[in-house]
Structure 1
Amino acid sequence: MLQLRTDLNSLPVSLQRTRAEVDAALAQMDRRLAEQTAETGKQLSALSARLEVLSGDVAALSARADDMNHRLEALRKAAARPGAPAPVAPSAPTGQAPAPPRPTTGALLPEDVYQAAYIDFSKGGYLLAITGFRDFLRRFPDHKLADNAQYWIGESYLALAHSYANAGQQDDKATQALEEAVREFRRVITNYPRGDKVPTAIYKEALALLDLKKPAEARTRLQYLIDNFPRAEETPLARDRLTALKP
């Protein structure tokens, strides 16, 4: 009986010690979980930043590829136009007048107008590029490069907004340029729904919405891109961006 009473008296002490050990173990688990969560957050932030850089690299490479294609096309058109230099003919015999030169025309081809605007964009002349691409659309609304021209108007406004922000200029200028970028990217989808620039325009529209602090609208556009263009190059980027945006 004495031993039983002793055991019963020591039971609360044992329970208290066990509870303390459990509390300590739980606290340690909480600390580890918090550390792992913080580390995961850092890794996700780093991954998101890396994806943003890669997205910019892809856009730059795409722009360079477009530039090369349009240069080649412009050269082919220039070689075939009526005013192109003709092969040098043999000298006329003495006493005969030389053959008259071929007539030339001063008309610009659509590719010339497009290329001039694209060169302005590539040099950072975004306002000039916007004017040039709009002039192209006004003159040649049904040209095969019309959807590209509309896309580059949006890209020009997006780049203009970033240049304002990087220069530390007024926020309202950057905000206005971002809003214009959203509108111009949407015109790609509305006016050229079958154009090859539609997926890129949707993704860039979502990025502009994020810069405008409109994450809900950005998530909607990213999900639209994923659902409607599952094989587009921008779709994996959209999935990663959407995952990072989820609460």
Structure 2
Amino acid sequence: MGYRKQCWLVAAFLAAWTVPVAAGLPIAREKWSVGILGGGQRIYGDEKVESSIGPGLQFLIMQRFRPELKAGVRFGYTELDFDRDTASGLFTEILNLDLLAQFHPVEFGRFRPLLNVGFGIFNFQYLNGNRYFDGEAFMGLGVEASVNQNLALQLNVTRHWTTGDDLDGQEGRGKDGYLCIGAGVLWHAGEILFGKPKSSPALPAETSTAPKEAVTVEPSLSEILSQPQPAPTPRTLADSVRMTVAELERRVREQEQKVETLRRVVEEKAELVERLRQEIASLGPRPAGAQASGFDAGYRQALQLYMDHQYEQAIRAFSVLVRDYPDDKNVSNCHYWIGEAYFMLGDYQQAIRSFERVLNYPNSPKLDDALLMLGRANLKLGDTNQAAYYLDRLVREFPDSEYVQKAKQYRTSVR
């Protein structure tokens, strides 16, 4: 083989070796494997060459990129024994360096079939005693059997094709090649994976207990402890315990926060329902007259729609009351409940407009309610300055209100 062809082969080999790094494939120390295989080779050259089986020894350094794919470097020493009509008892020494990929897409218990493909360069001794370089490509089949978590046995049969025609010492009509049968052992730095990697149990989806204020329900502490965990190897037992404890502590903190959020949501909903019931009960008999009885009936129906979570229908019902009974003493309450309905629908801008209309009624029984909800709606929109203004105003103007304590709690979140 010419000097230029040898240089091209070395350059191609080095370029292919840099592909995994350039492509950003994951390289992890625990996914490395090393192995040694011994076996025999038989040359297939020109027709006049008769060959016998020669010994060989190969070393493997592999990296597992996926559960079904390993790739790496193979290097070793091989002898090819052959006879020619011009000489006898001849053999060729080969020193090879190859890039090897092993695919094993299926498995059968502890056994998995292998497809071996690759290419490389090799140096061999010619009949005149000189050494030369040549290139080769190979393909073959094999099987791997797991002995334990870190040890496996391999058996491979591969066919090699060379780029030159002088491996057997003579030129003929085709390229030379040889058949290799080898068996050996591989040691894996990490646990041998069969099939797809096990993923951690997915957390249950979040469930909502109230509109726009969802609370996630995650596994309990006992459920977390009962989840199956892969058995750590002795050298990583301490690290595994520390990681498990840290994960449990994190989940406990998250659960405590979600429980507190859920408690606040439940309290607010309970207070709201109680206010609704009291308001409906307070609508006693009014003086006879179509206007009064019409407002009371419509007001009760609108409140019932709100209690049934039919917020859009409730908005329309309260808006009709505002339009038809603008002078009723409880019309400010309609503006307030319109704001509450918009708040539950997540339309905080419209909610703010409705609550601000309540402030136009100096004698409205909903003034402190509206100030609290104005603070909450502005917090939802991220306007902490406006939220603080309305919450401070509630505490200052209505010191005896039942909502003062709640306003102070929301106020602390915007400091």
Matched, 1:187 2:357: yes
- Counterpart among 292, 317, 322 of residue 132 in structure 1: 317
**1:47-86 alignment, distance < 5 Å:** 50-70=263-283, 73=284, 76-77=285-286
Contact 1:199 1:232 survives alignment (8 Å): yes
Amino acid at match of 1:66: E
For normalisation by structure 1, the TM-score amounts to 0.58
Q: Which residue of 2 aligns with 1:218?
A: 387
Matched, 1:196 2:372: no
Q: Which residue of 1 aligns with 2:165?
A: none
d(CA) in 2 for partners of 1:181 and 1:207? 10
Relative distance call for 1:199 and 1:64 in structure 2 (3 A) is same
Shift of 1:44: 9.0
Q: Which residue of 1 aligns with 2:332?
A: 147
Provide the secondary structure at the position in 1 that maps to 2:368: helix
d(CA) in 1 for partners of 2:260 and 2:414? 13
Contact 1:48 1:244 survives alignment (8 Å): no
The Cα offsets for residues 83-140 of structure 1, whole Å up to 9 and x where unpaired, read as: xxxxxxxxxxxxxxxxxxxxxx9x9621112122112111121111111111111111
Shift of 1:231: 0.9
Q: When you count strand as a share of all residues, which structure comes out higher?
A: 2
Q: Greater CA radius of gyration, 1 or 2?
A: 2
d(CA) in 2 for partners of 1:242 and 1:143? 34
Unmatched 5+ stretches in structure 1: 1-41, 83-104, 162-176
Provide the secondary structure at the position in 2 that maps to 1:63: helix
Provide the secondary structure at the position in 1 that maps to 2:382: coil
Matched, 1:119 2:288: no
Provide the secondary structure at the position in 1 that maps to 2:297: helix
Shift of 1:214: 1.6
Contact 1:48 1:241 survives alignment (8 Å): no
The structure showing larger relative contact order (alpha-carbon pairs under 8 Å, at least 6 residues apart) is 1
Shift of 1:160: 1.6
d(CA) in 1 for partners of 2:293 and 2:288? 10
Matched, 1:245 2:400: no
- Counterpart among 343, 354, 360 of residue 158 in structure 1: 343
The Cα offsets for residues 183-218 of structure 1, whole Å up to 9 and x where unpaired, read as: 10011012x122110100110111111111222211
d(CA) in 2 for partners of 1:63 and 1:223? 26
Matched, 1:178 2:342: no
User: Number of aligned pairs?
Assistant: 164
Amino acid at match of 1:180: Q
d(CA) in 1 for partners of 2:370 and 2:389? 14
d(CA) in 1 for partners of 2:338 and 2:358? 10
d(CA) in 2 for partners of 1:225 and 1:111? 29
Provide the secondary structure at the position in 1 that maps to 2:365: coil
d(CA) in 2 for partners of 1:200 and 1:44? 27
Which has the larger displacement, 232-241 or 51-60? 51-60
**1:89-100 alignment, distance < 5 Å:** none
Shift of 1:223: 0.8
Amino acid at match of 2:270: D
What RMSD, in angstroms, separates the aligned Cα atoms of the two structures? 2.9
Shift of 1:143: 0.9
Relative distance call for 1:199 and 1:45 in structure 2 (3 A) is farther
d(CA) in 2 for partners of 1:218 and 1:239? 11
Contact 1:44 1:244 survives alignment (8 Å): no
Amino acid at match of 1:242: R
The Cα offsets for residues 8-52 of structure 1, whole Å up to 9 and x where unpaired, read as: xxxxxxxxxxxxxxxxxxxxxxxxxxxxxxxxxx98997676445
The Cα offsets for residues 31-76 of structure 1, whole Å up to 9 and x where unpaired, read as: xxxxxxxxxxx98997676445423322221112112223xx2xx3
Amino acid at match of 1:58: E
Amino acid at match of 1:230: P
Provide the secondary structure at the position in 1 that maps to 2:363: coil
d(CA) in 2 for partners of 1:141 and 1:237? 32
Among the aligned pairs, what percent are the same residue?
26
Provide the secondary structure at the position in 1 that maps to 2:359: helix
Point out 4+ residue stretches in structure 1 off by more than 3 angstroms: 42-53
Contact 2:322 2:334 survives alignment (8 Å): yes
Contact 2:336 2:358 survives alignment (8 Å): yes
Contact 1:209 1:217 survives alignment (8 Å): yes
Unmatched 5+ stretches in structure 2: 1-254
Amino acid at match of 1:195: S
d(CA) in 2 for partners of 1:235 and 1:45? 24
